[in-house]
């Protein structure tokens, strides 16, 4: 039945609210469609979904019920990852465990493969396309009871999603900030590793940062594949991130660091990273939603 729109709705009357208005909670399956034209005012936000303890031979799903939010492949240009499976370095060594993935505007559906390997872990990256007036989302997760999703949106800290109703704020980056994930491999006890950031002289300046000035910002996060963090010290200046591995730690250490970079002017579109460390150390960096790349001991280009 087509509603009568001849009269102007009274905003004070809840019964006149239109469920398709951007940013309004809605019923499942009615999220607004992203525009075909990527320049139609909607913004893109990178998303990382890290799944834990997922059962084999099961159907998983995330469905949005907020109008004005849709899954997306991103701008599909340059070295942008778009949609990926286990590209994120913390899960890239995991065994393949999926038999199918598909998504439309409001729904992401995943099918895990049959097998006897027990509960699985994997990571997906993709984007949200967001209406300019929308600053949150609501929806539902379909997961087995043991499963957990760590969901990261833009520069925000990860949040835990379980089976059932879910929500998230969509605060964006809060200025010229980009998250950067660093993976350090092959270190030995007592090693000193420095990662230096710069840009071409005269183009602008770039600094290490704790993140944008907002309560949801991710800040700096460490993780280790080998249990306790194998660090003795960490320090950073505007241009240099420096850490020393613990002298009592084991050989062939591997750990991860999530931090931020910030820059000016707005038009700056690439930066340089380089390392100063022992030759046995390998540093892999991933800026924003870009492809991961090994950082060499000379300036290595990373696009913003």
- Which of 37-46, 134-143, 241-250 is the least confident region? 37-46
9: tokens are 């709705």
Q: Which domains does the chain have, with CATH numbers?
A: 40-169 (2.60.40), 177-303 (2.60.40)
- At a CB cut-off of 8 Å and minimum separation 6, what does 132 contact? 22, 41, 42, 43
- Residue of 130, 42, 36, 47 whose CA lies nearest to 81: 47
**Whose CA is closest to 273, among 177, 154, 180, 173?**
180
The answer to whether the predicted template modeling score (pTM) of the entire model surpasses 0.75 is no
Is a pLDDT exceeding 80 seen at residue 111?
yes
- pLDDT tens profile 7-45: 444 544 444 434 344 444 444 444 555 554 445 688 888
Decide if 82 contacts 291 (C-beta within 8 A).
no
pLDDT score for 19: 39
Mean pLDDT of the chain: 81
DSSP letter assigned to residue 87 = -
- What average pLDDT does the segment 92-101 reach? 74
Tokens 């809060």 map to which residue? 174
């Amino acid at each position: 039945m087509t509603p009568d729109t001849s009269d102007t709705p009274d905003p004070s009357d809840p019964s006149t609210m239109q469920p398709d208005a951007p940013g309004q909670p809605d019923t499942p399956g009615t999220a607004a469609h992203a525009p075909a034209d990527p320049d139609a005012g909607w913004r893109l936000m990178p998303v990382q979904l890290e799944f834990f303890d997922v059962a084999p031979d099961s159907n998983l799903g995330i469905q949005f019920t907020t109008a004005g939010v849709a899954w997306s492949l991103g701008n599909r240009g340059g070295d942008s990852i778009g949609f990926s499976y286990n590209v994120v370095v913390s899960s890239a060594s995991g065994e393949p465990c999926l038999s199918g993935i598909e998504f439309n505007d409001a729904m992401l559906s995943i099918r895990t493969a049959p097998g006897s390997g027990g509960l699985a872990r994997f990571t997906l990256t993709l984007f949200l396309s967001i209406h300019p007036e929308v600053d949150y989302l609501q929806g539902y997760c379909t997961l087995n009871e043991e499963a957990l999703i760590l969901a990261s949106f833009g520069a925000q800290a990860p949040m835990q999603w379980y089976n059932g109703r879910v929500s998230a704020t969509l605060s964006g980056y809060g200025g010229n900030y980009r998250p950067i994930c660093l993976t350090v491999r092959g270190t030995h006890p007592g090693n000193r590793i420095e990662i230096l950031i710069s840009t071409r002289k005269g183009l602008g300046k770039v600094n290490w940062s704790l993140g944008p000035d907002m309560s949801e910002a991710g800040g700096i996060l460490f993780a280790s594949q080998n249990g306790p963090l194998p660090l003795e010290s960490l320090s950073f200046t505007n241009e240099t991130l420096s850490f020393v591995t613990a002298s009592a730690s084991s050989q062939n250490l591997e750990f991860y660091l999530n931090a931020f970079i910030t820059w000016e002017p707005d038009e700056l579109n690439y930066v340089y990273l380089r390392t100063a460390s022992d030759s046995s150390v390998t540093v892999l960096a991933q800026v924003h939603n870009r492809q991961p790349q090994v950082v060499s001991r000379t300036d290595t280009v990373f696009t913003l």
